[in-house]
Amino acid sequence: MGTMNIFQFTGRRTIKTGVAVFLTALICHLMNWSPMFAVVTAIVTIEPTAIDSIKKAFIRFPATAIGTAIAMLFTFWLGDSVFTYTFVAVLTIVTCYKLKLNDGMIVATLTGVLMIATVHQHYVSSFFVRLETTTTGLVVASLVNVLLLPPKYSVMIASKIQQLFYESADLLTKRSMELLCNQPFDKDIRQAFQTLSRRLEDVEKLCSYQKKEWRFHRIARKDIRAFHYEYKKLMILRQLLYHIGNVVYLPSHHLVLDHQHMKFLTFIIQQLKESLYSRSFSIQPDTYRQISELRQWFLELEHMKCENALAGEQRLVPETAILYEFLSIHHLIQDLHLLHHHEVRHQKVVTSHYQA
């Protein structure tokens, strides 16, 4: 199995955790310390980004000191009993919470309860040894996270964004045709939309991780530009999902369309889907003419609504809502196509510059 396949199978974070555990245990072995507490600390210190590991290390050290001190106190007072485990766990959690050391709460509690069964005398020296082992785990894990296999989220971000566009197009098509055909509402569509929204938030989190990593590692300008290009697509995708969500939650069985209008909207839906499936978000020439007709139809319906309002009638035309969403989605696709066009043009300029 090749190196890249190993990375894909295990993950960079898993590999770094293994290396951190090995180095931590080795140092403890050389210093004749018990590696258990240091290893636990090293495991929880590996974070998605290097800066998170370092920031949380400064929180986990005092939290661990608190958990260790509480464990020493109650072990001296009550010995190795069920009450000791209970008091140590609860008081460590409460103290960390009150001092706003939430990121160190888990490792502090684990260290505290693990110490109860291992310490029966020499409480002061045991306290300082535990701090030393904890410090070893924190420092080793933080250094491993900074120096070994820096995370590269950009490729993953681009792939996930492209997949979200595909699935958004499928969801829009399915729900739109459901509305046009006056079919009963499919609950799976709403669930699929909620899943898409959560996955978009996951990609935004990956983007924040990538930005944090730039503080510790040099990165080429072309990679920064590629990241910003994907990030701009992501922001437009969020707006796109907003409008798709409006289509998803439109009430069914309210559209009244003749055969001609049904055929017309079906064509529009198909064109929107094809554009979202295109990596360049290309728009067919015929689509612009059809969108112009769609806009004219929308304006006529809006004019009709205004006339009804002036006449004292509150009758709404349900077709107005779906036409508005289709026009909004088309506008966002135009933004995506223009964004892609500018990116391709920039790449050509850079390539010609280097060739010259």
> What share of the chain has pLDDT > 90, as a percent?
43
Residue 158 token pair: 């681009």
CATH class name, domain 153-355: mainly alpha
55 pLDDT tier (thresholds 50, 70, 90): confident
302 pLDDT tier (thresholds 50, 70, 90): confident
Give the residue-averaged pLDDT of 55-82.
Answer: 88
Q: What is the domain partition of the chain in residue ranges?
A: 11-147, 153-355
Q: Is the per-residue pLDDT at 215 higher than 90?
A: no
Q: What is the pLDDT of residues 248-299, one digit of tens each?
A: 988 876 677 788 988 999 999 999 999 999 999 999 888 999 999 999 999 9
* pLDDT for the residue numbered 267: 93
3-class DSSP string for the chain: CCHHHHHHHHCHHHHHHHHHHHHHHHHHHHCCCCHHHHHHHHHHHCCCCHHHHHHHHHHHHHHHHHHHHHHHHHHHHHCCCHHHHHHHHHHHHHHHHHCCCHHHHHHHHHHHHHHHCCCCCCHHHHHHHHHHHHHHHHHHHHHHHHHCCCCCCHHHHHHHHHHHHHHHHHHHHHHHHHHHCCCCCCHHHHHHHHHHHHHHHHHHHHHHHHHHHCCCCCCCHHHHHHHHHHHHHHHHHHHHHHHHHHHHCCCCCCCCCCHHHHHHHHHHHHHHHHHHHCCCCCCCHHHHHHHHHHHHHHHHHHHHHHHHHHCCCCCCCCHHHHHHHHHHHHHHHHHHHHHHHHHHHHHHHHHHHHHC
Q: What is the pLDDT of residues 84-118, one digit of tens each?
A: 999 999 999 999 999 999 988 988 998 888 888 77
244 pLDDT tier (thresholds 50, 70, 90): very high
**Separation between Cα atoms, residue 356 and residue 350, nearest integer Å:** 10
